[in-house]
């Protein structure tokens, strides 16, 4: 089974024929029940990251429960659409980017399942190359960028925005971490598909990021984004062959993965 995690403004993926799956996890309830339907030849489980009615802000999303629920339901490969700000004037609102790197600037988020056992995961390349290839094969998709993930819920100051841009980061987001590393710990392939909704505060003189504008831009592009995600799913092989995201080969874990 494949998974899709919908970001801000992306709260549904299937029609009424989809079935609802409720999964209990050791980390509490996920953001919402899963809805399971089909895209082409694939069975796909959809989960709205922020809840069906955006009940969860970025810093309160139950990330560990979400990823555990997807794995327990049978998901092994995940596309993760998300809203991002751009730290470069080259990529304005409406641009779709598939990042290849992330920088974590969050704080205090539970970001591991391994609170005991001395388990470490390789994370130099945080995203699945197979899923990235499927996502970037579409037209007008930018291949590669570094996404900095901030704590939120506030947006950046102009100084912070310029600092991130000067460091060479191209995108800014609030949810990409710890989602990606939790997927790696659960040996699930994971790739974000980032929709630019705004130029960040330090990039456009006289402008700042407003929530209403972010949601409006996402709403304007949601149909095209869903089409892009479905096309990426269609490009994925029926059987998983990726070894890059199998993080625990030869390692004895303190508990069985779901």
Answer yes or no: 115 catalytic: no
Q: Omega into 172 within 30° of 0, i.e. cis?
A: no
Query: What span, in angstroms and rounded, lies between the C-alpha atoms of 122 and 217?
Result: 35
CA 118 to chain CA centroid, nearest Å:
26
Catalytic one of 111, 125, 198, 234:
198
Counting Cα atoms < 13 Å in the Cβ hemisphere of 132 gives: 17
Which residues fall in the annotated binding site?
Answer: 8, 49-50, 174-175, 198-200
Answer yes or no: 143 catalytic: no
Q: Which DSSP string corresponds to 196-258?
A: EEEE-TTTSTT----HHHHHHHHHHHHHHHHHHHHHHHHHS-SS----TT-TTTT---SS---
Query: What span, in angstroms and rounded, lies between the C-alpha atoms of 30 and 79?
Result: 17
Catalytic one of 100, 200, 234, 249:
200
For residue 180, the SS3 value is helix
Which residues fall in the annotated binding site for substrate?
Answer: 174, 198-200
Catalytic residue ranges: 198, 200
């Amino acid at each position: 089974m494949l998974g899709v995690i919908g970001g801000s403004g992306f709260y549904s993926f299937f029609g009424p024929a989809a079935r609802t799956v409720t999964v209990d996890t050791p980390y509490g309830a996920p953001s919402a029940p899963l809805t399971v339907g089909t895209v082409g030849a694939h069975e796909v489980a959809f989960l709205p990251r922020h809840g069906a009615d955006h009940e969860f802000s970025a810093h309160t999303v139950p990330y560990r429960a979400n990823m555990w629920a997807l794995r327990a339901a049978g998901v092994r490969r995940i596309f993760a659409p998300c809203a991002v700000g751009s730290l470069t004037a080259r990529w304005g609102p409406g641009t779709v980017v598939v990042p290849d790197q992330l920088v974590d600037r969050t704080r205090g988020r539970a970001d591991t399942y391994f609170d005991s056992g001395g388990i470490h995961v390789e994370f130099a390349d945080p995203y699945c190359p197979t899923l990235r290839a499927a996502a970037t094969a579409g037209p007008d998709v930018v291949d590669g960028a570094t996404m900095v993930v901030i704590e939120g819920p506030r947006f950046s100051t102009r100084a912070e925005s310029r600092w991130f841009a000067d460091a060479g980061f191209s995108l800014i987001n609030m949810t990409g971490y710890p989602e990606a590393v939790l997927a790696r710990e659960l040996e699930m392939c994971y790739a974000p598909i980032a929709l630019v909704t705004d130029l960040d505060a330090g990039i456009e003189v006289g402008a700042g990021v407003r929530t209403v504008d972010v949601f409006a831009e996402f709403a304007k592009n949601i149909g095209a984004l869903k089409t892009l995600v479905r096309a990426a799913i269609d490009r994925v092989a029926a059987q998983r062959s990726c070894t890059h995201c199998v993080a625990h080969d030869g390692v004895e874990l303190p508990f069985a993965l779901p």
